């Protein structure tokens, strides 16, 4: 769907094509897209001279020398094409406007969602479809419009920006870009932002939208102001459409989540959640991560358990099929992946291990996203992910906790695990080789009793809350 910069580009393009031309007749091919009575619409537009085309939010406004205006919302696929009078109509033409120079203007809409409405010049802003449309960022000088408009909005700020009733013209592409430049996580509640946040949103909206207008908008999917005419701003996009690519500022991978059904791209490192602190937990094999998870649950906190997640994936038919395609040597037993045989694969074939992990990491990342979205109102969230850094999940975390254990005790635990002691040792060696110690905020030694570990967990939580 074209947003403010694309609609502004279209208004300028159409003004150049249509200024001072007169509509001599109108043919409505699909009446459902016209919000007026058909005969009134046709009769009123006959012999009307076009002064120019302007924009209100994401709406086109055809201005005439007479006191009427034609309001057009292009929605998903609406486009205008100027053709010579002898050129045939095309599939998906909705309305035809004949002009006084042997040409006609066709409104074409593949999806048929667009609307056309004739309004009185004196009242058009109070009529449907503009009566509930707010001013665009260029019309606003005071950030309090956002602060006051969002004060009762407990919805994510990304969703709020797409609501055209407070401020208009911003759609999915530019909402992502504005929030990135403002360093605001798209899931932060609209009413939880600071004055500085609201100022940044308004100022950055103007900067980004103006840059996009200067580039003719963004040619994404099917948007074009006219045949053969492209926008160029897409090459400057920082997050939108860049899932898994590195952030241009911090080099972390861009993430994509879905908020109320809309795709949202952001950098977890640059854009932090305001009210939820996310704690990453990791440790080598047999360091007590399961015990840690169980006690966190007892305390009433939510924790994402990557081991359980991966265990479920190993029993998912679609995942099994895909992994078998990627690594044919994988052993399937009782309709699930044999984890002991998989452990041998990890040890014996680093290449296969990398293929499997890269595939699973993306799925785990998606599950982490879902977990965060579903628990966004909680004060603390925990992510227990042994391969936190390899899975690129560390960027979600505000703090990271490393569980350690005395080697002797660890050996005793490992010897009890299916006789695979040497294999586990090699996995732990790999764990420490890839551990980024500079990013560890807390270290908890789990060489004592369960009660002692529980006391340390309580102390950890108290310290985290104290510094929130």
Which tokens sit at 41?
A: 């619409």
Mark whether 298 is an active-site residue: no
Question: CA 341 to CA 329: how far, in whole Å?
Answer: 10
Can you tell me whether residue 330 is helix, strand or coil? Answer: coil
367 is annotated as an active-site residue: no
The active-site residue out of 2, 129, 137, 284 is 2
CB-based burial label for 142 (10 Å; 0-12, 13-18, 19+): exposed
Burial (0-12, 13-18, 19+ Cβ within 10 Å), 254? buried
Distance CA 449, CA 447 (A): 7
Give the strand order in the sheet containing 59-64: 78-84, 103-109, 93-99, 22-28, 48-56, 59-64, 68-73, 115-120
**Catalytic residue of the set 262, 378, 411, 413:** 262
266 backbone φψ class: left, alpha, beta (φ>0; ψ -120 to 50):
beta
Q: Let me know: does 186 contact 158? Beta carbons within 8 Å.
A: yes
In the numeric block, which tokens belong to residue 271? 């854009």
Region of residue 249 (left: phi > 0; alpha: psi -120 to 50; beta: else): alpha
Question: Residue 51: CB partners within 8 Å, gap ≥ 6?
Answer: 19, 20, 63, 64, 65
DSSP H helices, 96-244, are 144-150, 157-162, 172-181, 195-214
Q: Does 2 qualify as catalytic in the annotation?
A: yes
Q: How far is CA 329 from CA 141, 202, 289, 355, in A?
A: 64, 55, 30, 12
Beta-carbon contacts of 366 under 8 Å, excluding residues fewer than 6 positions away, are none
DSSP code for 252: P
Q: Is 284 one of the catalytic residues?
A: no
Choosing from 48, 55, 58, 189, the catalytic residue is 58
> Is-contact 105 80, C-beta < 8 A?
yes
What residues are annotated to the active site?
Answer: 2-3, 58, 262
């Amino acid at each position: 769907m074209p947003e403010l910069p694309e609609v502004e580009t279209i208004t300028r393009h159409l003004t150049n094509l249509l200024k001072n031309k007169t509509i001599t007749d109108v043919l409505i091919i699909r009446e459902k897209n016209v919000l007026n009575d058909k005969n009134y619409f046709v009769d009123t537009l006959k012999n009307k001279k076009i002064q120019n085309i302007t924009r209100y939010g994401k709406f086109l406004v055809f201005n005439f020398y007479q006191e009427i205006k034609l309001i057009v919302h292009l929605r998903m696929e609406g486009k205008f094409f100027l053709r010579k009078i002898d050129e045939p109509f095309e599939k998906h033409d909705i309305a035809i406007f004949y002009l006084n120079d042997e040409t006609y203007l066709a409104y074409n809409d593949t999806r048929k969602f667009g609307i056309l409405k004739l309004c009185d010049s004196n009242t058009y802003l109070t009529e449907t479809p503009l009566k509930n449309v707010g001013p665009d960022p260029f019309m606003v000088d005071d950030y309090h419009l956002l602060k006051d408009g969002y004060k009762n909005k407990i919805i994510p700020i990304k969703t709020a920006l797409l609501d055209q009733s407070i401020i208009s013209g911003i759609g999915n592409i530019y909402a992502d870009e504005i929030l990135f430049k403002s360093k605001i996580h798209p899931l932060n509640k609209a009413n939880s932002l600071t004055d500085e946040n609201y100022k940044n949103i308004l100022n950055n909206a103007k900067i980004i939208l103006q840059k996009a207008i200067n580039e003719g908008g963004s040619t994404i999917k099917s948007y074009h102001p006219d045949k053969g005419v492209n926008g160029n701003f897409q090459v400057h996009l920082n997050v939108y459409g860049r899932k898994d690519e590195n952030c241009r500022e911090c080099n972390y991978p861009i993430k994509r989540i879905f908020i109320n059904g809309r795709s949202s791209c952001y950098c977890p490192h640059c854009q932090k959640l305001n009210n939820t602190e996310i704690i990453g937990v990791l440790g080598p094999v047999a360091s007590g991560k399961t015990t840690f998870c169980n006690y966190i649950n007892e305390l009433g906190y939510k924790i994402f358990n990557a081991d359980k997640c991966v265990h479920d994936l190993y029993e998912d038919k679609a995942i099994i099929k895909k992994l078998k395609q990627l690594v044919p040597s994988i052993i399937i037993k009782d309709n699930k992946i044999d984890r002991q045989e998989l452990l041998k694969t990890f040890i014996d074939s680093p290449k296969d291990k990398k293929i499997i992990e890269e595939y699973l990491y993306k799925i785990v990342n998606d599950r982490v996203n879902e977990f965060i979205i579903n628990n966004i109102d909680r004060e603390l969230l925990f992510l227990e992910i042994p391969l936190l850094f390899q899975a690129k999940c560390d960027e979600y975390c505000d703090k990271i906790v490393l569980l350690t254990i005395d080697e002797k005790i660890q050996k005793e635990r490992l010897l009890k695990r299916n006789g695979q002691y040497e294999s586990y040792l090699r996995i732990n060696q790999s764990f420490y080789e890839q551990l980024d110690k500079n990013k560890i905020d807390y270290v908890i030694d789990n060489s004592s009793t369960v009660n002692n570990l529980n006391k340390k967990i309580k102390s950890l939580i108290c310290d985290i809350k104290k510094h929130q």
